Amino acid sequence: MDEYYMRQALTIAQYASGRTSPNPLVGAVIVKDGRIVGQGWHRKAGTPHAEIHALAQAGDLAKDATVYVTLEPCSHYGRTGPCADALIQARIKKVVSAMTDPNPEVAGNGLAKLRAAGIEVVEGILASEAAKLNEVFIKWIVTGMPFGVLKTAMSLDGKIAAYTGHSKWITSSAAREHVHKLRDTYDGILVGIGTVLADDPELTTRLPESGQNPIRIIVDSMARTPLTAKVVTDNQAPTIIAVSSSAPTERVAALRNRGVEVLVLEQTPIGVNLRHLFKLLGERRITSVFIEGGTAINASVLEANLIDKVHCFIAPKILGGKTAPSPVGGTGIPVVDQAILLEETTAELIGTDILITGYITGREGQDVHRTCGRTRES
């Protein structure tokens, strides 16, 4: 029954997917005498947490009830009060938590406070599922770096465009709609200058229902982004352009005059220092970055070890051509044994295309992610 009710909490936590950053996704279910008397989820940063919504719904029925919560109740004052205190005041009898909060301001203190108040505490119910739910939050809160997601779309023979450069459209409309749903869940979307020059993309979320536009991030070492580019001229989302210290100052000034934020970063042999860029994005509470670039930027973010998760769409088409580009350029791996490996892979059919999703083996923060997902009871 503990797992049954925790799955309910995990399900409702996902209702706010993409809306709580930089906070985690949290769901809470209150059970008394074998029935749910209250439930809630954290809806947006700065608003009441999941436990508070659930307690409000339960009212007096919360007394002597059991609370199932996907993340340890907070114990500190931020923009809202401590949820642990609210559970104590409601005279909750038992708290079942999926995982401990990796935030150093909490990190077990919430559960300790509950135990000190005489409340029975059980930890680790569906811990792995809870850790995956908050994979973005865990990476950012532990390392200070955004969770990096690489999306590619290619033909059956591994091409992202024909030898002429023509690429619209490799995947089906269903796959493209799915990509917009993914954009809706991440804080930032990143491409290289090559994509801007070739496609003049909007980099927005276009869904039948209301969508959320991520912050647009352009890697453009020499500030070549045209002043007429859509990422410059429209105001659908903020745009950050990362240039190197070698970028012409007049180009940088012109972009800034158009209202675009320009970050001048250290020059590297291949352009912009991407690790420094991600560090700055993390400091700005941009917890996740969705990369939809071309061969050059894809190779660069992989080489810089900035990717945690990969979404690869494969279309049932054959393009051929020895000069037609593949998803990842750069120098490449010298021997197959050194290939970048994916784990926890899944495959699903999206329209006529296959979507393979997996996690980079040995990614930054992986050990902490696994630790958060361990099962512990007390």
pLDDT per position as a tens digit, 36-75? 999 999 999 888 999 999 999 999 999 999 999 999 998 8
Query: pLDDT digits over 253-308, tens only?
Result: 999 999 999 999 988 887 899 999 999 999 999 999 999 999 999 999 999 999 99
Q: Show the tokens assigned to 212.
A: 């959320």
Helix residue ranges per DSSP H, the chain? 2-13, 50-58, 83-89, 109-116, 127-133, 135-143, 173-183, 193-199, 230-233, 249-257, 274-283, 295-303, 366-372
Strongest mean pLDDT among 181-195, 200-214, 325-339: 181-195
Q: Answer yes or no: are the C-beta atoms of 189 and 215 closer than 8 Å.
A: yes
Pick the range with the lowest mean pLDDT from 4-13, 135-144, 156-165, 207-216.
Answer: 207-216
Question: Catalytic pick from 3, 51, 105, 261?
Answer: 51
Q: Domain ranges in the chain?
A: 1-137, 144-360
Per the listing, tokens 């409000």 go with: 56
Percent of the chain with pLDDT over 70: 94
As a CATH number, domain 144-360 is 3.40.430.10
Please report the pLDDT score of residue 369 as a whole number. Answer: 56
Please report the pLDDT score of residue 75 as a whole number. Answer: 84
pTM tops 0.75: yes
Q: Is 172 annotated as a binding residue?
A: no
Task: Identify the band that residue 376 occupies on the pLDDT scale cut at 50, 70 and 90.
Answer: very low
CA of residue 250 relative to chain centroid, distance: 35
Q: Is 203 annotated as a binding residue?
A: yes
Please report the pLDDT score of residue 378 as a whole number. Answer: 33
Please report the pLDDT score of residue 93 as a whole number. Answer: 95
Mean per-residue pLDDT, 95-124: 92
**Fold held by 1-137:** Cytidine Deaminase; domain 2 (3.40.140)
Q: What share of the chain is helix, strand, coil (3-state, %, to 5)?
A: 30, 25, 45
Q: Is 183 annotated as a binding residue?
A: yes
Please report the pLDDT score of residue 375 as a whole number. Answer: 44
Strands 94-97 and 120-123: parallel
Q: Is 299 annotated as a binding residue?
A: yes
Q: Does the annotation mark 51 as catalytic?
A: yes
